[in-house]
Amino acid sequence: MEGKKLAATLQVQLIEKVKTLKTTPSLCVILIGEDPASKIYVAHKQKACQAVGIAVQLIKLPSTTSESVLLSRIDELNQDDSQHGILVQLPLPKSINTLTILKKINPHKDVDGFHPINIGLLAQGQPHFQPCTPLGILQLIDHYDIPVKGKHAVIVGASLIVGKPMALQLLDRDATVSICHKETKNLATMVAQADILVSAVGIPNLIKGDWIKPGSALFDVGITRLKDNTIAGDIEFTKAKEKATWITPVPGGVGPMTVAMLMRNTVMACENTYSLEANTHR
């Protein structure tokens, strides 16, 4: 599956949409510390904003930043009507409680969809802002017409960023969902049952090619830089490709879709259509 190509198509659609808006959408990205991968992801997000016509502001803070300083920065952004979207890049330094921070972001500006209210709306089947990576995978599922109803979807990794929201979204589309994690016994047996497999662990080649169910759809969220400076996903790509009908490459698969969905959520934040009662954005 060509995530990069689909993301580019969606980006063109967003550029046109932004031109029709009365206000320029804006996104504030907070980056704490010097994590090399986070710096790269944030750079991709900034570049996409510039391409789409979203005003992007980067707030860089040192890894020694206290939780209370970060909370008050978020508070300022919450109050600032000129800021439509707020994103705190994860992971945070260990001294900061991630859930405390995510809870502070105004749910109407929560373009990552990690606030308890937005996760709750998703769990109720009434989503507004949805986490960008699983939302990007849903776009790929729709684009490639991959059947979901009644299929067995196996998710490897139970994170708030990918695994848990992905499970809710696929359940909402009538898949039978299994979530695997680091305590799961017999991962091979679980993976072998998967019509749809989403792996978001970050262990290179954890999922062996000979575990894959013939005809399945494979979504690889893992991105690990190896010692030789190449990038590897969670799935043994070359072998898995022989068995699967659909597979995302790493890089160029799910990653660009995540960024495209962040752009979409930011435009939604600008449109200010947030309602706790009636949510039409799916």
Under rule CB under 6 A, residue 130 binds ligand GUN: no
Residues near 228 by Cβ (< 8 Å), separated by ≥ 6?
none
**Quick one: 89 or 199, whose CB is closer to ligand GUN?**
89
Catalytic residue flag (residue 172): no
Q: How far apart are CA 265 and CA 85, in angstroms?
A: 8
**Quick one: 44 or 152, whose CB is closer to ligand GUN?**
44
Helix (H, G, I), strand (E, B) or coil at 123: helix
Picking from 121, 116, 208, the residue whose alpha carbon sits closest to that of residue 156 is 208
Q: How far is CA 150 from the centre of its chain?
A: 24
> Cβ 85 to ligand GUN, closest distance in Å?
11
Listed ranges 84-92, 187-195, 196-204, 271-279: which one lies at the site for ligand GUN (CB under 6 A): 84-92
Among 49, 84, 85, 112, binds ligand GUN (CB under 6 A): 112
* The one catalytic residue among 83, 109, 110, 112: 112
The length of the chain in residues reads: 282
Terminal CA-to-CA distance of the chain, rounded, Å? 22
**Quick one: 44 or 173, whose CB is closer to ligand GUN?**
44
> Cβ 142 to ligand GUN, closest distance in Å?
20
Handedness of CA 191, 192, 197, 203 (dihedral sign): positive
For residue 282, give the H/E element and its range. none
Among 65, 130, 133, 248, binds ligand GUN (CB under 6 A): 133
Which of the residues 155 through 184 are near ligand GUN (CB under 6 A)? 161
**Quick one: 87 or 166, whose CB is closer to ligand GUN?**
87
**Quick one: 133 or 139, whose CB is closer to ligand GUN?**
133
- Measured from each CB, the residue nearest to ligand GUN is 90
> Cβ 181 to ligand GUN, closest distance in Å?
17
* The one catalytic residue among 83, 89, 130, 139: 89
**Quick one: 161 or 197, whose CB is closer to ligand GUN?**
161
Under rule CB under 6 A, residue 90 binds ligand GUN: yes
**Total site size for ligand GUN, rule CB under 6 A:** 9
What DSSP string runs through 22-84?
Answer: SS--EEEEEEES--HHHHHHHHHHHHHHHHHT-EEEEEEE-TT--HHHHHHHHHHHHH-TT--
> Cβ 103 to ligand GUN, closest distance in Å?
14
What DSSP string runs through 126-173?
Answer: --SS--HHHHHHHHHHHHTT---TT-EEEEE---TTTHHHHHHHHHHT
Among 92, 132, 254, 270, binds ligand GUN (CB under 6 A): 132
For residue 177, give the H/E element and its range. strand 176-180
Catalytic residue flag (residue 193): no
Phi and psi, residue 135, nearest 5° = -65, -35
Handedness of CA 111, 117, 120, 124 (dihedral sign): negative
Listed ranges 1-9, 58-66, 86-94, 164-172: which one lies at the site for ligand GUN (CB under 6 A): 86-94
Catalytic residue flag (residue 149): no
Answer whether 223's CB lies under 8 Å from 201's CB: no
Q: Please report, as ranges, the residues that interact with ligand GUN according to CB under 6 A.
A: 87-90, 112, 132-133, 161, 258
Q: Which residues are catalytic?
A: 45, 89, 112
